[in-house]
Chain A
């Protein structure tokens, strides 16, 4: 009989606790002067024997209970390999064991036993049957040759295996097998040579390097799981994208989740946590072998520095890939370049007077707008590429050069907002921005009846009555038709090309049927067109309460949405450090386990900053060393396990191609299969507990108040 956790057998000493407690109690027996001693003496004569027997039995049961618990925790098993060894007569020749210790080997197959533990046991089983020398190569984070030349000192091999646990990388198995071939290259010809590779089913199915041509080396891949299915679910990667249309600081987090098993995963719990707290919970359904993307929307509340975040799924047998970490950044400001086509020395008559206040920090803290205002003459001095949104407010016309830059800007992902006014020259704009305008401009129209008179009380304005509530711009408005948006009066507006095939999406429309706000996607960018004015010249929308959220929503909608580079840094790969400030000479990197590393500025001017010691998955924080004025922290990076290791499934065909070659190895392993005894030990413990309960119950029943009658006599 052997034990998985022999140290736990120390717990057998606990069997002595009940007798010790009994002896202590006996020594501490209190002395009581009592008048009816004669009755006690008589009772003792009657009961002492049975009572002592019962007490002894109880003590024995409790001792057995504690000893049995220690026995069960030590996880005993019977090795049925002895008979098989005799039958085989031992494995001849030189053997090199290659043990996979990459991170997937941390898969728990049975309780706390990992695939690595099982590989360790199988090596032990094979060592017991070897007739020749052996060597060991461990495929850890890198291939490690434990014993340089084959030896008969198997204890060194066992110790080396015990001292290691699965690492954090994959991919070293091939190199380890190649090293094993090298070790066997020095063995004289004529001696049987074999490389036994103990790995996952996926490792068995992988393209392991073949033995050198002409050599008689036998390669025996062994599925450590012994054909058992290894279902696993994993978070493969996480993609981040700002979602300004949902508000400042909003991020869209797309997590790719995979189900590597033959069973579907229904309602698999998955959640997004930030700084250790669960922010959003969700579920995902996964078909067998399928992947799915779970989208979260998250936002950093009142936080200026990046936060540690992770997407986590419900734990399974391989916990390493059940969470994927990343840094969640605070929202960047929306940079807006507003071109004022009708500036005025009187503030409230200025074209951008109301707009400027609508996006001012006091009213639009949520929007985080960084506004730059220029007039038509100075427009050329700024490059649209430096901004997220360009606003052409009542701009008469744009030059061909400006139009070209604007078109490139929009097609590259920028946002363009064009608003009307008296200054607008529709022919010029139609010509210059033909590729960007949702529809071409036709003419300015006076709202209401053309023959209306003030004296007659006739209607001379139009109202907003058409709302595309599904459009992201109107999403924050619970009921735009009932709000102040619908009460705004429009006196003049620009008529657009009414052709049926005209492009653009009408977000707002007037009760006269004309569109008021349109949007259009142009390649990666977006364009919005307001047929009214931003100020009060053509209507009173600017003084309606809905004006502020409408302006902010349009800006958010138009904001350049750039994919954030969330390509993960895999464990062991160098991580580029985004250090842009030239003042920084050295940075400090804090690893997930709290260790501090320093990285000096590269000597070559253009060389990138790189951190190489990414040995463990998790969040890595970066800060300048020493801290500089206005710069105390730098963007951190996240290191992840290689998701290719998450799929442990092997080939559908159970027997590998080299089955015949490793017949003796397989036979030895088949004979060496264990019969675990801890289940039986637990059953026995349960029986002991039951026995103790019965004894205690009987004693309690006897302690009932049998002498009640005497007190009442």
Chain B
């Protein structure tokens, strides 16, 4: 546990979000000990931990021995009983390092904070959470675990992963497809600017969906990318490819720029939604808790 990991997300924000739960629409594989209904019954083998009883839990899963000792209701959880297995895929490419004047954080930091909050919420309700970072190549991979202290492992990994290189979201999703044997929730946090393989990201996401994984893509954008507020003649420098520059007069091409980015984002959204892949666009000027509340109240 490092101080940097502690500072990734404000504890007060976590406290405000404590009442939220992560629900997935379709039935998840796993024992019905949590909030997610499992198609498999009675296949538990290895005790994992006790969890405090919460309204909605089956009474038959209450550990009466533990109740006799502690006078509290606890539910026994086993390794395979985890309701939900979630893979958080966080984009750490160079473009995620951008932070405009109005953004609360850089896009990469904002994505890391979102991932941390989602992990904390999922772990808190007994779900397993894994992490995969990716830039030009695949980065750190943390296998899913359901232990509460697993949060710190994830947070440390998020903090320690540097940003840089080009975006390879396709590689990250293919990696998840390899490691996720059971039906899982795959959360992709990226700006979606993968110009090397346009359209492939949505295709792989749809493939995952066809294999009964639930996939949600959060496209994280800075306000500057959304409304392009520049005015004076400017040399724009790429954040992922060195020495890639373009001189532009923003006043003259703003309209065309807005058309371009709108077309790109709308196309991505359309491709994902057509494959029943969740999609949400997030602007970093929005407070994090607002983003999380909106996301959980909506699709995820």
**A residues neighboring B (CB under 8 Å):** 25-26, 28-44, 46-48, 51, 54-55, 699, 702-703, 705-711, 713
Contacts and interface: CB of A to CB of B under 8 A. Distances in A.
Q: Could you tell me the dominant secondary structure of chain A's interface residues?
A: helix
20 contacts: A25-B233, A29-B232, A31-B234, A31-B235, A31-B237, A33-B236, A34-B239, A35-B94, A35-B107, A35-B225, A35-B238, A38-B193, A39-B261, A46-B256, A47-B253, A47-B256, A48-B252, A702-B255, A706-B258, A710-B226
Interface of B: 94-96, 98, 107, 191, 193, 195, 221-228, 230, 232-240, 244-249, 251-262, 264-265, 269, 281, 283
A30 B252 contact: no
A36 B193 contact: yes
Given A33-B239, A36-B225, A38-B195, A710 B257 contact: no
A39 B264 contact: yes
A703 B236 contact: no
A34 B223 contact: no
A706 to B, nearest CB: 5
Contacts of B225: 34-36
Contacts of B252: 47-48, 51, 54-55, 699
Given A30-B232, A31-B234, A32-B234, A46 B253 contact: yes
B255 A710 contact: no
A711 B223 contact: yes
B262 A25 contact: no
Given A39-B261, A43-B248, A706 B255 contact: yes
Nearest to A37: B238
Contact of A29 (B95, B228, B233, B262): B233
A37 B261 contact: no
B248 A40 contact: yes
A42 B235 contact: no
Contacts of B246: 37, 40-41, 44
The listed residue with most B CB atoms (<10 A of its CB), out of A25, A39, A44, is A39
Contacts of B262: 706-707, 709-710
Contacts of A47: 252-253, 255-256
B234 A713 contact: no
The listed residue with most B CB atoms (<10 A of its CB), out of A54, A55, A705, A713, is A713
Contacts of B233: 25-26, 28-29
A32 B257 contact: no
Nearest to A29: B233
B270 to A, nearest CB: 12
Nearest to A39: B260
Contact of B193 (A30, A35, A713): A35
B248 A44 contact: yes
A36 B192 CA distance: 10
Nearest to A702: B255
Given A35-B225, A707-B228, A51 B253 contact: yes
Given A35-B107, A705-B227, A711-B223, A40 B236 contact: yes
Nearest to A45: B256
The listed residue with most B CB atoms (<10 A of its CB), out of A43, A54, A702, is A43
B218 to A, nearest CB: 12
Contacts of A30: 232, 234-235
A34 B254 CA distance: 14
B254 A703 contact: yes
A51 to B, nearest CB: 3
Given A40-B246, A707-B261, 8 more contacts: A35-B94, A35-B107, A35-B191, A41-B246, A44-B256, A51-B249, A710-B281, A711-B223
Contacts of B249: 51, 55
A33 B97 CA distance: 10
A33 B240 CA distance: 10
Contacts of B230: 32
A32 B249 CA distance: 12
Closest 7 CB pairs of A and B: A51-B252, A35-B95, A43-B256, A707-B258, A43-B257, A43-B253, A39-B260
Contacts of B240: 35
B82 to A, nearest CB: 33
B278 to A, nearest CB: 14
B255 A713 contact: no
B236 A37 contact: yes
A711 B283 contact: yes
Given A43-B253, A43-B256, A34 B236 contact: yes
